[in-house]
Structure 1
Amino acid sequence: MIFDEARVFVIFVLALVCYGLTTVYLMWAVTQQKPIRKSMVLGQLLIGLLGHAVVLYPDIITQGGLNFNIFNVVSLTTLFMLLFYWGFCLYRQILPLGILATPLAFLGMMIGFFGDAPYHPLSTISPILQAHIIMSLAAYSVLFMAAIAAIMLRLQISELKRQTFHRVWVDKLPSLQSMEALLFDMITVGFGLLSISLLLGFIDTTNLLAQHLVHKTVFSLLSWLVFGALLVGHWRFGWRGQRAANMTLYGVILLGLAFIGTKFVLELILNK
């Protein structure tokens, strides 16, 4: 453990404050049609991300091995999501999307800090399985970010259909074309990471039923098929807009059932 419990708690509170202040500021800037100060937002989020990582590290890296219980996974996934958002903000004008991404990281950190699940550390895992876990979490994070972009895209399309009135936040979003380009960038990256993750999983896993992974595998494959079909449809048939947003959400729901849903049943209901 890097810090004692008192210092970890102080860092935890500091990270939450950074997330909370950023969320409130973004909501204020969007609703009041004020320019968003990029340097301030990214600076606060960087402090929050560093604090989030420091708090989560001793929960995952334990003396008994890696502890990827459901609460740690939720916290780590939201950390990665916000990290990807932070990175995209460096070269894309997507700061308003933080209205959804930052509160998710806030909640994820709370869940990871206060949640209590059965302790099943991974003391002896192969390098392939380690890579599989990392790729899986990275894929989930990017694709959950794509879900946020899809939600915003759906709302944006709905508002732009209005002939006489648009809500003020619509003007703060990137253009419809930019939002769609961002969405497919995220899906492409996430699909690639998910493909690698599934390949590594099949290489390392020899008995899916015995390891209680059959449901996770089925839902992951279904999600992979949805995202693959969406990318093919976009490139060959020009699928975009509402259809692209809906298929993205379907794929992410399946992915959530694959991992978070399966871990919830195994750890909290079946206690495995």
Structure 2
Amino acid sequence: MFSAITITIYLAAWAFLLHTTVRRETMRTERLLAFIAFGNLFHFIAAYHSILSDSGYQFGFFKVPSLFFAVINLVVLLSSIRKPLHNLFLFLLPLSVLSLLLASMDLQTRTSQPLALATISHILLSLLAYSLLTIASLQALLLAYQNYQLKHKHLRGVMGLLPPLQTMETLLFELVWAGEILLTLSIITGFLFTYSFAEQHVSHKAVFSVLSWLIYAMLLWGRHTLGWRGAAAIRWTLGGFAALMLAYFGSKLVLEIILDRV
């Protein structure tokens, strides 16, 4: 029921946002964000019931994305109060609906484990880091689109709704900085409390997480010392995001879907 309510709200908000964007109509952003926030509340409830089982919590391959996008939407909602991020919901709302549908169709029961406080802190830090860096990757895609349109002198349509290029780049690096700090804390808590290299899938997760951290660190170093921007910033941001997604979803895809082990 909660999933159905959330999907209805998200689709209505997405249709309204798409309509106003295409027609370049003015809108009350505050009302749109309040409507999405209402749906986001139901999204968290739906995600919670999806991963909750009688024996504990099940973080399955098709269940985690729903919680993942609930957190992302919350971060974008809060950030949109001061930053021009609401257009990201053109991407996020359809993906959120897809994640809810996948979670509702995943009826497989997997081994549940009780969660210690240290593990919970690691999960929360990871979710926040993944959320911010996902938003950064979407921002990078918007920046790539903006660069392409400016290069080909297409200044109408969606271009008129986006902030200036310099503002978009500044926002991108703010997101990467915040995400990198949280990713650092996530990796530290992972090594201290949860990673066991005797488990092969955990070692793969740790390796790709560290690889992602290194890519983002190189991006921030290049920005600070070499003045990286534009295409270089976009490539490194998306490269770091790809490694980060492989860290979690790659091992889960192999184990749960291909090998059906966990």
TM-score of Structure 1 vs Structure 2, range by shorter chain: over 0.9
1:253 to 2:242 alignment? yes
Distance in 1, matches of 2:240 and 2:52, equals: 30
Unaligned 5+ runs, structure 1: 1-8
Two-structure CA RMSD over aligned residues (Å): 1.5
Structure 2 counterparts to residues 52-67 of structure 1, below 5 A: 52-67=43-58
TM-score, normalising length from structure 1? 0.91
Structure 1 residue 195 displacement after superposition? 0.6
1:226 to 2:226 alignment? no
Distance in 2, matches of 1:259 and 1:114, equals: 21
Give a deviation string over 1:54-100, Cα, whole Å, max 9, x none: 11212223331121111221111111111111111111122222211
Question: Which residue pairs with 1:94 in the alignment?
Answer: 85
**Is the contact between residue 219 and residue 257 of structure 1 (CA under 8 Å) also seen in structure 2?**
yes
Structure 1 residue 245 displacement after superposition? 1.1
Distance in 2, matches of 1:206 and 1:147, equals: 26
Give a deviation string over 1:21-75, Cα, whole Å, max 9, x none: 1111111111111113212211210111011111121222333112111122111
1:133 to 2:123 alignment? yes
Question: Which residue pairs with 1:157 in the alignment?
Answer: 147
TM-score, normalising length from structure 2? 0.94
Distance in 1, matches of 2:132 and 2:229, equals: 19
Unaligned 5+ runs, structure 2: none
Paired residue for 2:177, among 151, 170, 188?
Answer: 188
Distance in 2, matches of 1:246 and 1:169, equals: 22
Structure 1 residue 211 displacement after superposition? 5.5
Residue type at the aligned position of 2:51? I
Distance in 2, matches of 1:201 and 1:152, equals: 32
Structure 1 residue 235 displacement after superposition? 1.4
**Is the contact between residue 219 and residue 255 of structure 1 (CA under 8 Å) also seen in structure 2?**
yes
User: Percent identity among equivalent residues?
Assistant: 32
Distance in 2, matches of 1:211 and 1:129, equals: 19
Give a deviation string over 1:149-177, Cα, whole Å, max 9, x none: 010000001101123x3341011011111
Question: Which residue pairs with 1:6 in the alignment?
Answer: none
Distance in 2, matches of 1:215 and 1:152, equals: 30
Distance in 1, matches of 2:61 and 2:130, equals: 14
Question: Which residue pairs with 1:34 in the alignment?
Answer: 25
Structure 1 residue 144 displacement after superposition? 0.8
1:108 to 2:108 alignment? no
Give a deviation string over 1:189-227, Cα, whole Å, max 9, x none: 111111111111111246313363111111111111000
Give a deviation string over 1:117-144, Cα, whole Å, max 9, x none: 4412122x43222211111111111111
Distance in 2, matches of 1:19 and 1:209, equals: 42
